[in-house]
Structure 1
């Protein structure tokens, strides 16, 4: 990839953060409808905001393309690391590719729930449950992806590492902050519910911080590796 191609891909991070975030706000899903709501209450949300939810999910799907681009260019830069094997770079790419699906499918399911808001409220509630219980507990792919970046960064033997050491530790912490989302399968209220402090607010913040922080780090890495030839 040329320098320009790589830099365009790196800017996919802020693009994803801005567009995906705007889509969620447009749909009224910041925070998501609480899991304690009745079927009728959930159906009312989708009936009253059907068009905004559909448009917001389309915007969110467009934003996910930026995540794909950022994952790919991070892999390209990680292959310049002086590490024992290509495993960290390949793991980052593989986990990131699966992570894309954990973002795309819930967006699609939410749009489907708003596609026929006149359906049985119990079915709308089920679709809403499926969407949030797909994305909120989806920590394994991101933990593996961020962990791979951390391993590569902390074992990189280059005199001028691709990513600074602190970025490795940051990726570890951001990955761990996503783990509480797994408890959204158990709790309907409180910090572990899918709209709670730990499962939604902190986890979502960690993901958006990752998108923003990894962009300048990757741009800096691109400048160095291109100059090295």
Structure 2
């Protein structure tokens, strides 16, 4: 049976990803900062595990508690407090990058020994179309109206590091997903997609076998072209 770890899995996209992968037959460990918030994860058959991507000790303990690992879904992320230039500061940028980029690398590096022992190791990094310059700069896209700098910068970094991880680990399937403009707490439930639609790409990429693509960026409609 496939064993999967999902970070930030106590609500929204992470919780829906957990539900769908449990339904697909995965043994899912639902990473979350506080397992007291894990009632919904338990109800869908996932196994809550304390995991704070900003805390190396927490990450190491979470990984050490797993019996094995085949799929890592790096879903945890923060939106931040800066939404333009006037409220932007170096500290605001650092906070978002620390969680969305450094935290992702922290978890991935800790998980590599277990993933290397898998017959078909998979990593899915959840990014966003706001990290894709073509979408950010094209009028008429959902992304065009976004002014926030830290969040966009962090997701651009996630896309780039996914490509680089894929090149360095050719035996893995390592890809990045775009949930799209999905109805979540992040956007005060203004998104036009359901959380199920928003997890389509992540779930598809989490189910890849050794013949699947790697180093690619996908949304629910397929690969996002450069």
Normalised by the length of structure 2, the TM-score is 0.30
The structure richer in helix per residue is 1
Q: Larger relative contact order (C-alpha < 8 A, sep ≥ 6)? A: 1
Which has a greater percent of strand? 2
With the length of structure 1 as denominator, give the TM-score of the two structures: 0.29
Bigger Cα Rg: 1
